[in-house]
A and B are shown apart, each in its own frame.
Chain A
Amino acid sequence: MKMKRPAKRMADKFVIGLLGLSVVLIMAILVVILGNIAMHGAKMLTWEFISQPPRDGLTAGGILPAIVGTAALVILMSIAAVPLGVATAVYLHEYTPAEGLALAWRRFRVSKGQAGRSHLFMRAMSALLATVTRTAVANLAGVPSIVFGLFGLGFFIQFIGGAIDRATQPPGETLWSQGSLLWAACTLALLTLPTVIVATEEALRTVPQDQREASLALGATQWETIRRVVLPGSLSGILTGAILGISRGAGEVAPILFTGAAYYLPYLPQRVTDQFMHLGYHVLILSTQSPDVEATKPLLYGTVFVLLALTFLLNLAGVIIRSRTRSRR
């Protein structure tokens, strides 16, 4: 479409205006939602709210057990997910062949009759393992969160928990084969694992290959190189990925429905085998199970506000850690 100059300039301005409008729209939506929550929720933020358990059938009181439960869950989940995720990513990126399964297999096939063939075979097998792992991780990322919950129930609670109970508990006892912090944390860990693995691999990728070479040329083993050069050099990326995963897991509700969340407990959780209350779950309960909708509305706002604040704090921590480790370079 041929346009004259003044028409072109107008088209330019039109597009810029449109883009600006969409930004304004998004900001507006964000402001409306957050503003609404902040307005109604902030005023609930009394000392009582934070430090007292709910009473009167969840229509009054505070949300202390939910806060404690969420915190405990997040901590356990991090302990389960982060080391495992980082280790997996390190294995995938540093120890498996970079050239991929197809190439590794072809190299093995064409090396018929040459020395060092077994070495190429091991490389191909390693590449196979890497491909399988990466496929598994990618698929895991796409699983709906409710399915994680069911998996947690069937595998962790009934299968593993049941086996532990049969082995260690008097018959009939269900200490391990019921919902608890432990199994909920494991289930959430599975959910956040792909995020941690992918982010860690990304971080490892940012370490230039020539630094690994420099370390090897100085007489370091591969593990020493990873420990002293690669991991310190990718720390900020790894932490970012970890916090990203953790903050996502902190907000998930579906996986913990069957694996340990309770809608009301008169005590705080003290052992990993205890059940727990949870902020996100509490929101669900308050909005669907409460006997008095009007009375619980402010509590609901307050709970949502605390939950969002928690998420924001986690993200903020991520940003701060990232900028600090990055500026140290």
Chain B
Amino acid sequence: MTTMDFVASAPRSATSQPQTATKIDVRDFNFYYGEAKVLHGIALDIPEKQVTALIGPSGCGKSTFIRSINRMNDIIPGARAEGRIAIDGKDLYAPGVDVVALRRRIGMVFQKSNPFPKSIYENIAYGLRIGGISDRRVLDETVERSLKRAALWDEVKDRLGGSALSLSGGQQQRLCIARALAVDPDVLLMDEPASALDPIATQKIEELVYELKNNYTIVIVTHNMQQAARVSDRTAFFMLGKLVEYAETRTIFMNPTEKMTEDYITGRFG
């Protein structure tokens, strides 16, 4: 074997991504709580089947933004959105959009795990039942598939009828992930999914996100910069409701363009 053969067969960088389609397209998006404007002219495109992280200091609007994607902010009084967020080209804020159907295509995992006080099985079957599916076989298969996807199956397969509340914090959060995956969404939104968990459980969640991105487009909000660096392909840095910088994660963490980004990453901010 010659030197040239060695070079030709060298593995490419694991994190350099080929160009992929845009899944979520945001244009000129503003958001108000009553009179207060909390998001200013946000514009970005979130690529398909990759992990996009949203970072920034508290109150910078990242949680508000992620909740705008599945219109969960609608339930907050006085909340108002302007601009466009489109998934697969269809604007979510167009008049006449069925919010309930929209939410079925988008899964959400919250900061504090919130399983229903039902059995593990019924928690996962919930999304299917409200979709009208009651065939026991379909439910069984889907429950198993979702739990396997969430790396929880082995731990609970013998006690699917047990209460969801009997699981540990990390397991509950994985249950919530499985619950969200059961309806087979395209997009998975995660709002600080590991912030209430211990380091081992956090690691499991992060490892899960790596695997999930093969099948789902993931947007994750995290206040933990290192987590964003570990887990995501692209990172968006928010501050005071504005999108300061949005680029490949390695760029943001090795050589950001904006000084504000660098100050935040290096901890010199605030």
Contacts and interface: CB of A to CB of B under 8 A. Distances in A.
22 contacts: A104-B77, A110-B34, A213-B72, A213-B110, A214-B108, A214-B116, A215-B116, A216-B75, A216-B103, A217-B108, A218-B127, A218-B179, A219-B100, A219-B101, A219-B103, A219-B105, A219-B127, A220-B126, A228-B126, A233-B116, A329-B117, A329-B165
Contacts of A211: 114, 116-117
B215 to A, nearest CB: 18
B57 to A, nearest CB: 24
B114 A214 contact: yes
Interface in A193-234: 208, 210-211, 213-221, 224, 228-229, 232-233
Given A217-B70, A217-B106, A218-B126, 16 more contacts: A110-B34, A114-B80, A115-B80, A210-B114, A213-B72, A213-B114, A215-B126, A217-B103, A217-B108, A218-B107, A218-B127, A218-B130, A219-B104, A219-B105, A220-B126, A228-B126
B163 interface: yes
Interface in B84-142: 100-108, 110, 112, 114-118, 126-127, 129-131
Most buried by A among B78, B106, B112, B130: B78
B77 A99 contact: yes
Nearest to B105: A219
Nearest to A127: B77
Interface of A: 97-99, 104, 107, 110-111, 114-116, 120, 123, 208, 210-211, 213-221, 224, 228-229, 232-233, 329
Given A104-B77, A120-B78, A216-B103, A224 B130 contact: yes
A120 B130 CA distance: 29
B65 to A, nearest CB: 16
Contacts of A98: 77
B191 to A, nearest CB: 10
Name B's interface SS: mixed
B236 interface: no
B180 interface: yes
B147 interface: no
B239 interface: no
B130 A219 contact: yes
Contacts of B129: 228
A89 to B, nearest CB: 20
Contact of A221 (B100, B110, B115): B100
A210 B192 CA distance: 14
